[in-house]
Amino acid sequence: MTDIKQALAAAFDDEPPLTIDRAAILRTGRRKAAFRRGYTAITVLATATVVCVPAVLGSGGGGGDGNAQVGGAAPARSTTPTTASAPPVTSAPATGSSSPNPATGSSSPNSATGGPSTTRMSIIVPAPPEPPTSGRAIELTALLASSGAIPADAQSQRYADYPTGPWEFGVVEGGYETAVDVTTAAGRGRVMVGLGGGGAPKCRPESGNPRSTCEERLFEGHPIVVTVSMSNDTQPVTFVAVHARKADGTLVEATAMNGNIQKTGITGVNLPLTVEQLAKIATLPGLTF
Amino acid sequence: MDRDSEFGEYVDARALVMRRTAYLLCGDWHRAEDLVQTALTKLYVAWPRLRRDGALDAYARKVLVRTAIDESRLAFRRRETVVDTVPDTPAPAPASAMPGAGADLDVRRALAALPPGQRAVVVLRYWEDLSVTETARLLGRTEGTVKSQAAKGLAALRELLGHGVMEEQR
């Protein structure tokens, strides 16, 4: 070891224990991978539409008509966040909230930092309170099914790459998780629900996607964190995550995106579940380890 | 072995090492873990391609360093804080003027005094043991710039640490 390296190593004298949560990284990674695949699929679809539809219609100056017809399958383009149709959680924002309302797409400076409003969820969380078991996964599946939190009009399909069926929890990397492709009157896309170790969720300044917002709110008395991310595209894919911490330390993450990566499907106009519906799942009593 | 298992093993094997590098880059253990988690999440997304190409460590290092530099350049990451009351004690003197301070504190203060780019060069060259070429490629700079920043960074560290241990032996 060089002298320089030895000098640098002296900086580690107060090194704390590693608290990186592998399961949380995996959950976030899966979510981002799904988001990326959905984004890619939508981009391909949009490109194919732009190229093919006018050709198929074959009418000079018919671009407007072509787009109108495309609108039946893929919505009219808009730079407005698609979560605009999802009503905000009705409760008042939690104290200290400094982020924009994702439902309105508004943006305001982060008063705490004086910088951009872009924030993200902290994913550093302690270990889950109990080791997950397949038996508990079955119980959680039954609990969610009977809770009324799943919209009555939801048409659910198994997510092709996922090991469990629609709305069925499985044991995944030290936690529980389910993923499903859903169509509702509100929209169409992917929904994922995960249970992991539970630190108190909060928004933190982050240098990531500028089209990402985070807001701390109250939902029926429960503190939740709502994060909204959008792809930088004329037809953006929107990803909404609601985090809630339970009394036993469980951190529940309910997420939805308006993309459907199955080969047979296309993205919905809006998210299949509203922020409020996601919050209802995230704060569902009994959805714990 | 499936993707999650492979990735999990990689995290177990590399997280500590990555956090140390991140710490040298940012000077805060909590932020260092944030950086590592960000890097590992990106690594997971690109895992199939990286496994195929055998470029896991290089990619992880690249993401880590670039994220650290980006963060350090953002205004809202500045370390100035607003306080309600003015402290009774004066601001701490430079490390070189504090003979009683611990070596770890000295190094941290000295690193914190370096500009982000210079600091990254020092960490990559002398902690990660990357060559000038590798460092230049990772940071997107010329080799001449890397050599220059490495020299300036070492000179600054020597001055700030106030002793003669910082001699390059490579």
Average pLDDT over every residue of B146-157: 88
Whole-angstrom distance, CA of residue B36 vs CA of residue B25: 11
Q: Cβ–Cβ of A2/B169 closer than 8 Å?
A: yes
Whole-angstrom distance, CA of residue B46 vs CA of residue B41: 9
Average pLDDT over every residue of B142-160: 85
Per-residue CA distances from A44 to A41, A51, A190, A253, A266 (Å): 5, 11, 18, 29, 11
* pLDDT beneath 70: ranges in chain A: 1-2, 35-129, 160-162, 173-174, 198-200, 204-211, 230-237, 259-269
pLDDT reported for residue A41: 54
Cα angle value A230/A233/A234 (rounded, 5°): 115
**Which residues of chain B does A19 touch, with a Cβ-Cβ cutoff of 8 Å?**
33
pLDDT reported for residue B125: 92
Task: Identify the closest residue of chain B to A13 by CA–CA distance.
Answer: B104
Q: Per-residue pLDDT tens for A186-199?
A: 888 888 898 887 56
Cα angle value A172/A279/A257 (rounded, 5°): 65
Task: Identify the closest residue of chain A to B72 by CA–CA distance.
Answer: A207
As a residue count, chain A comes to 289
Which two three-digit tokens encode residue A224?
């939740």
B46 in Cβ contact with B39 (< 8 Å): no
Q: Which amino acid type is present at position A270?
A: N
* A225-234, B33-42, B105-114: segment of lowest average pLDDT: A225-234
**What is the interface pTM, i.e. ipTM, of the complex?**
0.75
Least CB–CB distance from A4: residue in B76, B108, B126? B126
Least CB–CB distance from A18: residue in B19, B111, B167? B19
Q: Cβ–Cβ of A20/B71 closer than 8 Å?
A: no
A187 in Cβ contact with A258 (< 8 Å): yes
**Which residues of chain A does B157 touch, with a Cβ-Cβ cutoff of 8 Å?**
4, 7
Which two three-digit tokens encode residue A206?
């982050």
Higher pLDDT, B85 or A254: A254
pLDDT reported for residue A263: 37
DSSP for A10-39? GGGTTPPPP---HHHHHHHHHHHHHHHHHH
**Which residues of chain B does A116 touch, with a Cβ-Cβ cutoff of 8 Å?**
74, 76
pTM of the model: 0.45
Q: Cβ–Cβ of A18/B16 closer than 8 Å?
A: yes
Which residues touch A138 (CB under 8 Å, ≥6 apart)? A169
Average pLDDT over every residue of B141-147: 83
Please choose, from the candidates A237, A58, A44, A15, the residue with its C-alpha nearest in 3D space to the C-alpha of residue B24.
A15
A34 vs B: CB within 8 A: no
Report for A193-207, B85-99, B145-159: range of highest mean pLDDT = B145-159
Cα angle value B41/A33/B66 (rounded, 5°): 40
> Domains in chain B, start-ordered, CATH in brackets?
1-81 (1.10.1740), 98-170 (1.10.10.10)
Q: Cβ–Cβ of A13/B104 closer than 8 Å?
A: yes
pLDDT reported for residue B22: 92
pLDDT reported for residue A231: 57
